[in-house]
């Protein structure tokens, strides 16, 4: 039996979970704004939100380092509020994972929102619903498959984040690497192929299982009407 | 609050792409059928009355309650939000919420009713329309006629001051259509409000209408009793 240190996988799962929660909240808000056709500079805003998809992960990590570092206004405000910096911490790893997965989450949720039949929204309005009630009771429930697919993609992307995490956090968080950094380190520095294989296999099993469950859930929601 | 049994008075001018509408309507309580060939602006007219489309100019009022007023080239001086216009709108595709049961669909518009009274009132309305047995089911399982009845129940649950029907019976067979037409007549007579009904069918208009308005290319070309306006008309594409 392999003697594998599972702490990196556990750390990555924690980071990906928190990143998914954060990107779902921010991503849903951004998707609602982007789905509003009269938004000024909508295409430019969309391009900025989607930028992490086309940036090299290290460049994204660099931007995050500049924006969230201890000398930046956000970094200083965070440290003042919570007593610890963002960079080189667990929080930083969550930020890095979330930044990389946000555009995937937004695209998926937006597709879900835009697939809601306009007549259903119009019907809700004529039945006396104010805009927020229309969003909560009609738009978001009917966009649920897109939201779940977004969460699934975001989680998978966050679980495997490497470049941005390296730039913002370094190779260890309190002495433990994330699963992807662990794989790279073991392969390059120790040549422990058994550990690399075990971690890769475990990450794959976790990822594929979650994708499968999310697919099943999405399918059920699609056919529940 | 405006008086009950109030007339709808509307003058609407709007341009949407190729379609230009310039229409004046006076609809007393009862059924006004709006007829015209495809693309003549009937559905856009209903959307404008509901506030889903903003006219470029005009005035929409129920009795002395003004919902919209705008002079050409100026911002609207009155534009009551869609949710605040007390109206019932049955869409061409019905637009029942697929993720809600029939009862939840009917309860959706009952914000003014006490929360614990809503299920009973919704059930009573569904029973009245002959679909009480569908209360706990979702729209995917309804037949065409059942969906029409649930959509009518949902629309009428708000105690509307104006009812708008956008060809809701077009997909039904003749017998079912006759049943629903009789039901709509009965309900509108009880409510005592104006109902504007868009239809393609001269036969349906003859059965339903107290008044027929015929529109072509966004303009009213005839208005009056069904017998006068539809004399010699067998098809609107004549």
Spatial separation of the C-alpha atoms in residues B169 and B180, rounded to whole Å: 8
Q: Rounded to whole angstroms, what are the CA distances from B212 to A141, B199, B205, B233?
A: 40, 10, 7, 12
With a cut of 80, say whether residue B172 has pLDDT above it.
Answer: no
Task: Provide the pLDDT confidence category of residue B1 given band limits of 50, 70 and 90.
Answer: very low
Q: Of all residues in chain A, what percent carry a pLDDT higher than 90? A: 67
In the block, which residue shows the tokens 């997965």? A101
Task: Please report the pLDDT score of residue A76 as a whole number.
Answer: 95
Task: Provide the pLDDT confidence category of residue A216 given band limits of 50, 70 and 90.
Answer: confident
Q: Exposed, middle or buried: residue A167 (CB in 10 Å: 0-12, 13-18, 19+)?
A: buried
Best residue in B47, B97, B104, B142 for a mutation probing chain A (most A CBs within 10 Å): B97
Average pLDDT, chain A: 90
Element holding B48 (H helix, E strand): helix B42-50
Cβ–Cβ gap B99/A224 under 8 Å: yes
Query: Of B178 and A136, which is predicted with more confidence?
Result: A136
Out of B86, B95, B99, closest to residue A123 by CB: B95
Out of B86, B91, B99, closest to residue A123 by CB: B91
Out of B83, B84, B95, closest to residue A119 by CB: B95
B160 in A contact zone (CB under 8 Å)? no
B163 in A contact zone (CB under 8 Å)? no
Tokens of B158: 């708000």
Task: Provide the pLDDT confidence category of residue B2 given band limits of 50, 70 and 90.
Answer: very low
Spatial separation of the C-alpha atoms in residues A68 and A72, rounded to whole Å: 6
Residue B174 CB partners (closer than 8 Å, separation 6+): none
Pairing of strands B57-62, B8-16: antiparallel
Cβ–Cβ gap A123/B98 under 8 Å: no
B84 in A contact zone (CB under 8 Å)? yes
pLDDT, mean of residues A185-189? 85
Task: Please report the pLDDT score of residue A29 as a whole number.
Answer: 95
CB A68 within 8 A of CB A87: yes
B108 in A contact zone (CB under 8 Å)? yes
Task: Please report the pLDDT score of residue B4 as a whole number.
Answer: 58
User: B7 vs chain A: nearest CA distance in angstroms?
Assistant: 19
B225 in A contact zone (CB under 8 Å)? no
pLDDT tens-digit profile of B179-224?
A: 888 888 888 888 889 999 998 888 888 888 889 999 988 899 888 8
pLDDT, mean of residues B76-89? 92
With a cut of 90, say whether residue A109 has pLDDT above it.
Answer: yes
B67 in A contact zone (CB under 8 Å)? no
Q: How many Cβ pairs within 8 Å bridge chains A and B?
A: 62
Tokens of B9: 């008075």
Q: What does pTM read for this prediction? A: 0.86
Give the ipTM: 0.89
Out of A129, A141, A224, closest to residue B83 by CB: A129
pLDDT, mean of residues A206-210? 85
């Amino acid at each position: 039996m392999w003697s594998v240190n599972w702490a990196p996988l556990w750390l990555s799962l924690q980071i990906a979970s928190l990143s998914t929660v954060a990107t779902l909240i921010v991503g849903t808000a951004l998707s609602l704004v982007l789905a509003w056709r009269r938004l000024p500079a909508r295409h430019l805003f969309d391009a900025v939100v989607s930028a992490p998809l086309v940036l090299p992960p290290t460049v994204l990590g660099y931007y995050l380092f500049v924006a969230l570092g201890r000398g930046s206004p956000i970094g200083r405000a965070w440290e003042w509020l919570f007593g610890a910096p963002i960079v080189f911490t667990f929080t930083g790893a969550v930020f890095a994972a979330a930044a990389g997965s946000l555009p995937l989450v937004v695209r998926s949720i937006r597709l879900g929102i835009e697939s809601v039949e306009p007549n259903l929204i119009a019907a809700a309005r004529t039945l006396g619903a104010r805009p927020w009630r229309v969003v909560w009771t009609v738009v978001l429930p009917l966009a649920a498959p897109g939201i779940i697919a977004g969460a699934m993609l975001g989680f998978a992307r966050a679980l495997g984040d490497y470049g941005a995490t390296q730039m913002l956090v370094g190779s260890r968080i309190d002495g433990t690497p994330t699963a992807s950094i662990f794989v790279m380190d073991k392969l390059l520095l120790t040549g422990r192929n058994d550990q690399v294989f075990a971690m890769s296999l475990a990450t794959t099993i976790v990822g594929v299982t979650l994708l499968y469950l999310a697919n099943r859930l999405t399918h059920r929601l699609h056919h529940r009407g | 609050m405006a008086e009950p049994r109030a007339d709808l008075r509307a003058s609407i001018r709007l341009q949407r792409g190729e379609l230009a509408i310039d229409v004046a309507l006076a609809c007393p309580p009862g059924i006004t059928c709006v007829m015209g060939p495809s693309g003549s602006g009937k559905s856009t007219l209903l959307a404008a009355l509901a506030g889903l489309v903003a006219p470029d100019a005009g005035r929409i009022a129920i009795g002395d309650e003004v919902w919209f007023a705008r002079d050409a080239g100026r911002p609207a001086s009155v534009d009551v939000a869609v949710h605040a216009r007390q109206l019932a709108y049955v869409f061409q595709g019905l637009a029942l919420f697929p993720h809600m049961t029939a009862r939840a669909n009917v309860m959706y518009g009952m914000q003014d009713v006490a929360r614990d009274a809503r299920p009973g009132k919704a059930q009573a309305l569904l029973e009245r329309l002959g679909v009480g047995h569908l209360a706990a089911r979702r729209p995917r399982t309804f037949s065409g006629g059942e969906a029409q009845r649930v959509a009518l129940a949902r629309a009428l649950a708000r105690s509307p001051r104006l009812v708008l029907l956008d060809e809701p019976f077009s997909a039904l067979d003749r017998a079912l259509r006759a049943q629903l037409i009789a039901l709509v007549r009965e309900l509108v007579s009880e409510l005592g409000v104006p109902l504007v009904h868009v239809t393609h069918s001269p036969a349906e208009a003859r059965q339903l209408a107290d008044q027929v308005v015929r529109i072509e290319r966004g303009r009213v070309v005839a208005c009056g009793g069904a017998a006068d306006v539809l004399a010699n008309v067998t098809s609107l594409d004549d």
